[in-house]
Structure formats: C-alpha cells, structure tokens
C-alpha cells in the first residue's frame, strides 16, 4: 500500500546534500583563487581560527607536503622495505628439485639403464 505524501515533508529542493556542499566548497575555493591545499594552509595559518580547527588543517595538509618518514631501527638506520617473494605456484619436481610445470626438462638428460 502506497503512503500518501505528507505535504511539505522530505528534503527541500536544492538542500545541502553531500554533493552540493562539496560543489559549493569547490566553487568558493575557485572564486577565491585557492586550491584545497592552499585553503587548508590558509586556515591553518589564520590566528583568528579556533586552534582545534587549525590543528585539523595541519594534519590534513601534512601528507601533501611531507614525505612519510622511513622506518628506522634503534640505531637510527633506515629499515629497508620488506620484499615479499611469492612462493612458486608449481609443485616441486621430484626429479630435479626445481619448480616448473609439466614434465621435467632435465629428465631427458638423465641416463636410463
């Protein structure tokens, strides 16, 4: 059974949904001649802005301005990245001990008595 629409209910036309807000921010930034990063830095540097908000802007902008620090051991030496080597997908050959598909290519070389 369909419910009758209550007059004046629901979201108003042109209300601020997520997309509208993002579009509005982008428009405001473009009009101000600022990129989102520039905006973040602008807010971060504004002494009139709440400190909590300035902190948030600093955190949001940091990854775009500073490289992530490489992990170090206790002596301060950079720990090289871990390189993962996938184990062979083929089964180990009983004849030669290597990993290869199908018949052993080294089998023919073996002398059969």
Q: What are the CA-CA distances from residue 84 to residues 68, 81, 87 (Å)?
A: 21, 9, 9
104 binds Zn ion (CB under 5 A): yes
Rg (CA), the chain: 31
User: Which positions from 35 to 74 touch Zn ion by CB under 5 A, shown as an x/- string?
Assistant: ----------------------------------------
- Residue 78's DSSP bridge partners are 72
User: Which among 6-14, 35-43, 70-78, 103-111 is the span making contact with Zn ion, rule CB under 5 A?
Assistant: 103-111
User: Least Å distance between CB 113 and Zn ion?
Assistant: 19
93 binds Zn ion (CB under 5 A): yes
| Cβ distance to Zn ion smaller for residue 29 or 96 | 96
Phi-psi map region of 6: left, alpha, beta (phi>0 left; psi -120 to 50 alpha): beta
Per the CB < 8 A criterion, the answer to whether 92 and 99 are in contact is: yes
95 binds Zn ion (CB under 5 A): yes
Total interface residues for Zn ion by CB under 5 A = 4
Whose structure tokens read 């301060």? 76
Per CB under 5 A, residues contacting Zn ion are 93, 95-96, 104
């Amino acid at each position: 059974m369909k419910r009758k629409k209550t007059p004046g209910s629901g979201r108003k036309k042109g209300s601020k949904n997520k997309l509208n807000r993002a579009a509005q921010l982008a428009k405001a930034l473009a009009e101000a001649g600022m990129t989102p990063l520039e905006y973040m830095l602008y807010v971060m540097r504004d002494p009139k802005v709440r400190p909590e908000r300035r902190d948030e802007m600093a955190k949001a902008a940091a990854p775009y301005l500073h490289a992530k620090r490489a992990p170090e051991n206790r002596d301060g030496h950079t720990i090289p990245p871990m390189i993962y080597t996938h184990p062979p997908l083929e089964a180990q050959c009983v004849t030669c001990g290597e990993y290869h598909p199908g018949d052993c290519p080294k089998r023919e070389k073996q002398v059969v008595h």
